[in-house]
Structure 1
Amino acid sequence: MVRSGFTRLAAGFGLVLASLIAMPEARAQAEVDLALVVAVDISFSMDTEEQALQREGFAQAFRSLPVHEAIRGGMLGKIAVTYVEWAGTSDQKVIIPWTILDNSESLMAFADRIASTPLSRAQRTSISSAIDFSVKLFDELGAAATRQVIDVSGDGPNNQGRGVEQARNDALAKRITINGLPIMLRKPGYLDIPDLDAYYKDCVIGGQGAFMVPVRERDQFVNAIKTKILLEVANLTPPKALIERVQNPLRANCLTGEMQWRDRWNN
């Protein structure tokens, strides 16, 4: 009886010791330098050519050697990324779930999944819902991230759902950074605004090191996305413009999209 009890005690102690030895390795496997939500606009205001360019840009970004090197240069040498498409309040979809990218093979496979996903489109533009949806995804990651970033790309202002400032501020309260890729390829129409970059600056992006990369020409699209992903992975920000306006411009109206939509249906 005594020997049996001692044997069980020794076995139990051995299990505890083994778990303690394994804990550092388990923690290392559950940590990443960056958790990145790539949130891509698929609203009808994006034509199919713009969507194809956008898709190509993100695929090329994760194939590019500088991005691979930036990941390897991190403290842990790995990041977690999920690819999301969004439009109106009821249209947010995870296209590629959280994936750990820590070598060239995983990055190439992730890029191939982006490139091979069929294009789709949906109604309205709810940046606020895209942000809210992205924030919830961090709870599903199952890993600790040194930085949490939402990468929002879109070609118009919020026109559905709650106010974009509210969603932005709630995300910032969780120490999540929001970066932006305002797409300004066409002349402003009935639901577009001429200064979408100013709108993104004042109403969408925020958090530590937040930045945006505007796209104004089609031939800039792919390189702009590659630059943005590289900056996010490397935890850098674009250099400031050498020429700045003497006077600060007026702050953007963060409800301009909602007002445009209301005026459209009231006229």
Structure 2
Amino acid sequence: MGRTVSSISRTSRCSAARKKLSTGRIRCVSNILRGICGAGFTIPCAVFALALTCSRSGPAHAEAVDLELVFAADGSGSIDDDELYLQRKGYADALIDPRVVDAVNSGRTGKIVVTYIEWGDPSSQHIIVDWTEIAGVEDARAFGEALLAAPRAAWGYNSISEAIAFSTDRIVENAYDGARLVIDVSGDGPQIGGRPIDWARDRAVDAGITVNALAVKSRGRNRPGPGGMPLEMHYRLDIIGGVGAFVMVADEKTPFAEVLLAKIIREIADARPTGAGRSLAGVGRRDDPHQYSADLTTCEAKDDERTGPDAGCQWTKMSAAGPEGPKGDQRP
């Protein structure tokens, strides 16, 4: 069950993931020192600790950027090669759009970093284009060219939870210090296998990351979520999280490329902090029985976004069998 997380300071959110790494390093040093000093060595412990910490600390300063953005795109078995190409081209074209470039340049540092991954089953998450700085149209064009030239890598079916976990690790382990941290998940089907989706979402949010989603319903399949709920409802209830989190929908009326462009502009231009604060955003909580209304038409609202504590849908219990595989995704 999703947890209510109190709001924390912007500085804490932005550096939370890296503080975890630093804490682990200090704990390691402390354990080593305990053994050395307890054995009666004469080396001053403080000097030894300083030397050991510095030798393992990596770069002295992470590079400041306005946004660290992971594009986590569906590359599972439901996406054929033509669809995969059109999907990648949508991202490549969106990044060179003048409105996106203007949004990038309007930030404090005037640059963001992006990476593109594709995901399939629980063991299939792949970096298609690694972290790339985008400060202008030429950077964006180079990223798009690399994206379109890369070979296909993902296989299997729909572990969105592992895609989020993998994306979270990419943010935690990189060499950038983003004022905002976002994972942009897109897919045409529900969560099927892997670790629980709410665990992955909460882990990302607690690391200072906001998870947004794009539900793709324009491929003629209209795969539902668990229990037959609309796919966008499943994404809204289970996948998105963090301050400002939202879901958008691509279908026959709103083409993928058009919706994707609007989504990326919104993610880059949003000045709000990311991460913890699901209680403020009104997402990721099922402990409040009044949070989701039974009026399913609310879930089909034009903005496809939660706007308050009653702007959701009645939760439908997940079945043991998912629509694309034998195991489904049961909540623990």
Q: TM-score range by the shorter chain?
A: 0.7 to 0.9
Change (3 A) 1:68 1:161: same
SS where residue 83 of structure 1 aligns? strand
- Residue 171 of structure 1: CA displacement? 1.0
Q: Amino acid of the residue matched to residue 234 of structure 1?
A: A
Spell out the pairing of 1:1-267 with structure 2 (5 A cutoff): 30-185=63-218, 186-188=220-222, 193=228, 195-217=230-252, 220-235=255-270, 240=303, 249-253=313-317, 255-256=318-319, 259-260=322-323, 261-262=325-326
SS where residue 249 of structure 2 aligns?
Answer: coil
Matched residues in 2 for 1:222 and 1:190: separation? Answer: 22
TM-score (norm: length of structure 1): 0.78
| Conserved? CA contact 2:225–2:233, under 8 Å | no
Instruction: Flag the 1:121–1:139 CA change in 2: closer, same or farther, 3 A.
Output: closer
How far 1:90 moved relative to its partner? 0.8
Q: 1:94 to 1:252 in 2, by over 3 A?
A: farther
Q: Is the 8 A contact 1:198 1:252 kept in 2?
A: no
Q: 1-side partners of 2:159 and 2:304: how far apart?
A: 30
Q: Could you tell me how far 1:97 is from its partner in structure 2?
A: 0.8
**Partner deviation per Cα, 1:219-258 (whole Å, 9 max, x = no partner):** 6111111111111111179x9479x9x99531254x4585
Tell me the TM-score normalized by structure 2. 0.64
CA distance in 2, matches of 1:177, 1:38: 13
- Kindly indicate whether the alpha-carbon contact (under 8 Å) linking 2:211 and 2:242 is maintained by their aligned counterparts in 1: yes
After TM superposition, give the deviation of residue 31 of structure 1 in Å: 0.2
Once residues 157 and 96 of structure 1 are traced to their aligned partners in structure 2, the CA distance between those partners, rounded to angstroms, is 25
Please tell me whether the aligned partners of residues 157 and 257 of structure 1 are also in contact (alpha carbons under 8 angstroms): no
- On the 8 A contact 1:203/1:252 being kept in 2, the answer is no
In structure 2, the CA distance between the partners of 1:220 and 1:170, relative to structure 1 (3 Å rule), is: same
Task: Give the secondary structure class of the aligned counterpart of 1:214.
Answer: strand
Compute the RMSD of aligned alpha carbons. 2.9
CA 1:218/1:52 → structure 2, altered by over 3 Å: closer, same or farther? farther
One-letter amino acid of the structure 2 residue matched with residue 104 of structure 1: V
- Aligned residue pair count: 234
Tell me the distance in 2 between the aligned counterparts of 1:263 and 1:99: 37
* More helix by percentage: 1
The structure with the largest alpha-carbon Rg is 1
Which whole-Å CA distance do the structure 1 matches of 2:142 and 2:119 have between them?
Answer: 22
Unmatched 5+ stretches in structure 1? 1-25
Contact 2:120 2:157 in 1 (8 A): yes
- Separation of aligned partners in 1, 2:72 and 2:271: 20
**In structure 2, what is the Cα distance between the partners aligned to 1:219 and 1:190?**
18
1:149, distance to aligned residue in structure 2 (A): 0.3
